[in-house]
Amino acid sequence: MRFTINTELFVKGLSIAGRAVAAKSANPILLSVKLEVSGKGLSITGTNSEISISTTIPNTVDGREVLRNTSLGTALIQARLLTDVIRRIDSAEVTVEIIDGTIAKIDDGKSSFKLFCMGGDEYPDIDFALEGRSFTIPATVLSEIVDQTAFAALSKDGKPILTTINLKGDGEHLVATATDSARLSKKVIETDAGANISCNVPAKVLAEIVKLPDPRDSVEISVDADRAVFVFGNTVVACRLIPGDYPVSANIIPTAFSYFLEVNSHEILSAIERLSVLSVGVAPVVKLSMSEKGVEVSSGYSQTGSGVERINTFQYEGERLDIAFNSTFVYEAIRALGGEDVSFSFIGEMKPFVIRNPNDESAVELITPMRTR
């Protein structure tokens, strides 16, 4: 195998596929990227136990030749080492040649490297085919879905299904839900894609996927029994799905409330952030005290001290209410909603409450209060 390639595009391709390469593994194959030269161009593939990414650099881009001097073949080269070497190449083009199936010679006319490599036939057989129910959405919409839900999924080891984002489509709407059992985030978008699906995609995988497309791209998503495939531009991503029934959320989010608060997002985020310095080595808990006369955010710990912040800009309806919660949960929810103002709807002191952007009803955040006494 041999090819001469535009260095900048090679680095970009290695970076994309490298997101799927295992950080650590006893199997050297999973620390490698697979390079394959075919008539379509150079394909670069990386995989671990959860996600596989393949991106193709074509022979020409916008009428400009970016891949030439090619000889067909495959090879496996340690991903991090290859990327570091190519990133430091100081020429517009670089040539890679596989010698005797064991040495990858990298040369730009000034620098020359010889890296150990393996034959491509040792790489896992990865199925990137679109075989399930498919639909297409703009990359910006997929990014918005993940930004407004992924943070609420379980991030630590625990019940596997809670580490996912559940995607459910009925042909007219796509509903994304994430929960770690203490909070829930839900995003609904209207779509004419027409796909009836229900699947549990690992949240951290989706968080990686949305970093890859150009914002101008559309993303085709195909879902079958145990995997999802995402296609955009010259890149295809496959990931395994988590089996099982996702917790039912349809009846969890309340619709009737007794207390309502609307505040400036920046003001309450700043107050929570300042009070969080007191939570050293313990769960960050704040208390929201509300009445028509005023709104305060407070926090106190026996080891560090206490603090109070008065909210100056607010609208409140209801009797006086004090409610405590994990400040990280509320902080992340408000940031995810992304509005200038944020509304809180409460039922009572120990009942889950809802946070929304008053100008965007497509997203809702549900938080479980904490008992402080």
pLDDT at 194: 60
pLDDT at 75: 97
Quote the CA–CA distance of 237 and 244 in Å, as a whole number.
22
Amino acid at 370: M
Indicate if 195 and 218 belong to the same structural domain.
Answer: yes
Mean pLDDT to the nearest integer, 343-354:
96
More confident residue, 122 or 139: 139
User: Among residues 186, 207, 240, which one ends one of the domains?
Assistant: 240
Indicate if 191 and 295 belong to the same structural domain.
Answer: no
pLDDT at 133: 87
In terms of Cα–Cα distance, which of 123, 155, 104, 160 is closest to 47? Answer: 123
DSSP structure class, residue 241: P
pLDDT at 8: 97
Indicate if 187 and 106 belong to the same structural domain.
Answer: no
Quote the CA–CA distance of 368 and 51 in Å, as a whole number.
32
Q: Is residue 54 part of a domain?
A: yes
322-331: per-residue pLDDT in tens?
A: 999 999 999 9
DSSP structure class, residue 8: H
**89 falls in which pLDDT band (50, 70, 90)?**
very high
pLDDT at 115: 97
Q: Is residue 225 part of a domain?
A: yes
Whether residue 372 has pLDDT greater than 90 = no
Quote the CA–CA distance of 223 and 241 in Å, as a whole number.
9
pLDDT at 373: 58
**305 falls in which pLDDT band (50, 70, 90)?**
very high
Question: Which residue is listed with tokens 């990280």?
Answer: 328
Q: Is residue 252 part of a domain?
A: no
Indicate if 223 and 319 belong to the same structural domain.
Answer: no
User: Among residues 64, 97, 122, which one ends one of the domains?
Assistant: 122
For the ranges 4-8, 63-67, 132-136, 226-230, which has the lowest average pLDDT? 132-136
Whether residue 22 has pLDDT greater than 90 = no
Quote the CA–CA distance of 284 and 326 in Å, as a whole number.
6
CB atoms within 10 A of CB 103: 13
187-216: per-residue pLDDT in tens?
A: 999 887 667 888 999 999 999 999 999 989
Q: Is residue 248 part of a domain?
A: no
Q: Is residue 33 part of a domain?
A: yes
Q: Contacts from 21-24 at CB under 8 Å and sequence distance 24+? A: 21/46, 21/47, 21/48, 21/79, 21/80, 22/48, 22/49
Indicate if 58 and 164 belong to the same structural domain.
Answer: no
Structure tokens at 122: 């040792």
Amino acid at 145: I
Indicate if 11 and 72 belong to the same structural domain.
Answer: yes
- Give 369's Cβ-side CA count (13 Å radius): 20
CATH number at residue 359: 3.70.10.10
In terms of Cα–Cα distance, which of 52, 62, 66 is closest to 22? Answer: 52
Indicate if 47 and 94 belong to the same structural domain.
Answer: yes
pLDDT at 225: 87
Indicate if 137 and 115 belong to the same structural domain.
Answer: no
Q: Is residue 128 part of a domain?
A: no
In terms of Cα–Cα distance, which of 178, 182, 193 is closest to 145? Answer: 178
**134: burial class by Cβ within 10 Å (0-12, 13-18, 19+)?**
middle
User: Among residues 61, 89, 122, which one ends one of the domains?
Assistant: 122
Quote the CA–CA distance of 89 and 255 in Å, as a whole number.
59
**Containing domain of residue 52, as a range?**
2-122
Beta bridge partners of 106: 96, 113
Indicate if 14 and 118 belong to the same structural domain.
Answer: yes
> What's the distance, Cα to Cα, between the start and end of the chain in Å?
69
174-207: string of b/e by CB count within 10 Å (b at 16+)? bbbbbbbebbbbbbbbebebebebebbbbbbbbb
Contact in structure between 86 and 111 (CB atoms under 8 Å): no
Quote the CA–CA distance of 126 and 361 in Å, as a whole number.
40
Quote the CA–CA distance of 281 and 252 in Å, as a whole number.
32
CATH number at residue 180: 3.10.150.10
98-131: per-residue pLDDT in tens?
A: 999 999 999 999 999 999 999 999 899 999 998 8
Indicate if 289 and 360 belong to the same structural domain.
Answer: yes
In terms of Cα–Cα distance, which of 6, 16, 23 is closest to 78? Answer: 23
Mean pLDDT of the chain: 93
Q: Is residue 253 part of a domain?
A: no
pLDDT at 247: 87
Indicate if 213 and 158 belong to the same structural domain.
Answer: yes
pLDDT at 369: 95
For the ranges 72-76, 166-170, 280-284, which has the lowest average pLDDT? 280-284
Contact in structure between 199 and 228 (CB atoms under 8 Å): yes
CB atoms within 10 A of CB 331: 18
Determine the number of helices (DSSP H) and then strands (DSSP E) in the chain. Answer: 6, 28
The radius of gyration of the chain from alpha carbons, rounded to an integer in Å, stands at: 25
Domains held by the chain: number: 3
Q: Is residue 147 part of a domain?
A: yes
246-271: per-residue pLDDT in tens?
A: 987 777 899 999 999 999 999 999 99
For the ranges 19-23, 65-69, 146-150, 317-321, which has the lowest average pLDDT? 19-23
Indicate if 93 and 161 belong to the same structural domain.
Answer: no
Mean pLDDT to the nearest integer, 20-49:
93
Kindly report the pTM of this predicted structure.
Answer: 0.90
